[in-house]
Structure 1
Amino acid sequence: MMFRRGFLAGAAALALATPASAQQLSLAEISNYLNRLQTAEGGFTQINGDGTLSTGQIYIKRPGRIRFEYNPPDDSLVMAGGGQVAIFDPRSNVPPERFPLNQTPLNIILEQNVDLTRTNMVTGHTSDGTTTTVRAQDPDNPQLGNIQLVFTADPIELRQWIVTDDIGAETTVILNDLESGGAVGDIQFNILNEMNKRGF
């Protein structure tokens, strides 16, 4: 399956429709934005390491919860909740693959308190005039990989991320029409409930 331990990692970046000019966002501004982002949902396009594309719906409920529902023909489900990540493969009759969320770079933006100003957390911070890109890692466990976050400004919006996992695999996730502040139910991130629904 194309979405294993290295889920949420990335290669190619797509051009984003953004305002003509924007100043580079500071790490404090980005941290504050992520900490205010309590719930969000929208569409996404994923560029896999082999160049194939997947699409679906994403749901975020910070801290610690995210859900990717993939459209046909994939129909996979990846969800994080209770400190765990679970990967459901509809073509398999075995329980989902599970591993700790804190072993993935995505944990950096799902933490209770995001602080990109921490020593050795950010290894890259650039702007191309329309977007600001930050590359971050767990300063205590850099071997787990990194995440590149792409933001637009005025207002600040997370538009894309590229995660490189612990074995160097990459996946790009481009967010489409992400809407924040809505009601997202806790049940969507309950791994055991999802397993029960699927007969595991």
Structure 2
Amino acid sequence: MRPTRRSIALGLAALPVTGSVAGPALAARPAIAPLSAEDRALVDKAAAYLQDLTEAKGRFVQTDARGTMTQGAIYLKRPGKARFAYEPPSGLLVVADGANVSIADSRLKTFDRYPLMATPLSIFLARQIRLDKGVVVSRVSRLADGFSITARDGKREAEGEITLTFSNDPVALIGWAVTDAQGFSTRIRLASLEKTSGLASSLFVLNDPRPKNPGRAKM
């Protein structure tokens, strides 16, 4: 089974990163043990950081389930908005407008749109970051210089999960991995992500660029 364009692109847009690797469909999940007080403290620290991250821009490097690496520019504007502009030779442009995630591929001349709430990205693009309500945190891992949190939307278990990776000092988002319902994982590493303000609204608008009547001859 091959990863779909949706699983590849939404890893972005859905931030090396820890997380699951490509594989077969996700098996039934075992019962999740309650978080320890130390784990909960890290979750609260991550939520506070994300809540304060209202606008940001930077660079990203993406590795999809087939090992293909691409890079580009990232723009975030909470709630709900993100833009991933991939550099050539990739033809991808991915935009979350607050309600949907749109994916345009200029090379393949395709355009797809998915509800933002049906993707794990909605967890950290939400207006109110709540990692203790409506979100299932399945794992908190300590790393040499940071920590990672694996979570999924409690109401959309089949839609996959996201692993957010943070540095310790200072606390900052440095990457993420999205694993879809088929078990394919896309990893994003942030080369830089800095807070900013005044990002243009036009950055978060992506309409279908294809001709409305492609079979119609020009007059």
TM range (shorter): 0.7 to 0.9
Task: Give the aligned partner of residue 165 of structure 1.
Answer: 180
Matches of 2:165 and 2:61 in 1, distance apart?
Answer: 14
Structure 1 pair 86–124 and aligned structure 2 pair: CA distance change class (3 A): same
Structure with the greater alpha carbon radius of gyration: 2
**Contact 1:4–1:87, Cα closer than 8 Å, also in 2:** no
Percent of aligned pairs sharing the same letter: 33
Alignment partner of 1:30 is 2:32: no
Give 1:132 shift.
Answer: 0.7
Per-residue CA shift, 1:113-142, capped at 9, x if unaligned? 111123661000111241110001001111
- After TM superposition, the structure 1 = structure 2 runs for residues 45-56 of structure 1, keeping only pairs within 5 Å, are 45-56=61-72
| Ranges in structure 1 where 5+ consecutive residues have no aligned partner | 16-22
Matches of 1:123 and 1:129 in 2, distance apart?
Answer: 20
Structure 1 pair 3–73 and aligned structure 2 pair: CA distance change class (3 A): farther
Q: Say which SS state the counterpart of residue 79 (structure 1) adopts.
A: strand
Which AA in structure 2 matches 1:154?
D
**Contact 2:134–2:155, Cα closer than 8 Å, also in 1:** no
**Contact 2:17–2:176, Cα closer than 8 Å, also in 1:** no
Matches of 1:128 and 1:87 in 2, distance apart?
Answer: 33
Q: Say which SS state the counterpart of residue 198 (structure 2) adopts.
A: coil
Give 1:43 shift.
Answer: 0.6
Matches of 2:134 and 2:105 in 1, distance apart?
Answer: 38
Number of equivalent positions: 187
Structure 1 pair 77–3 and aligned structure 2 pair: CA distance change class (3 A): farther
Q: Say which SS state the counterpart of residue 5 (structure 1) adopts.
A: helix
Matches of 2:134 and 2:204 in 1, distance apart?
Answer: 31
Alignment equivalent of 2:105, drawn from 66, 84, 89: 89
Which AA in structure 2 matches 1:121?
V
**Contact 1:162–1:170, Cα closer than 8 Å, also in 2:** yes
Alignment partner of 1:9 is 2:11: yes
Alignment partner of 1:156 is 2:157: no
TM-score, normalised relative to structure 2: 0.78
Matches of 2:202 and 2:45 in 1, distance apart?
Answer: 31
User: Considering only aligned residues, what root-mean-square deviation do their CA atoms show, in Å?
Assistant: 2.4
Alignment equivalent of 2:130, drawn from 115, 137, 148: 115
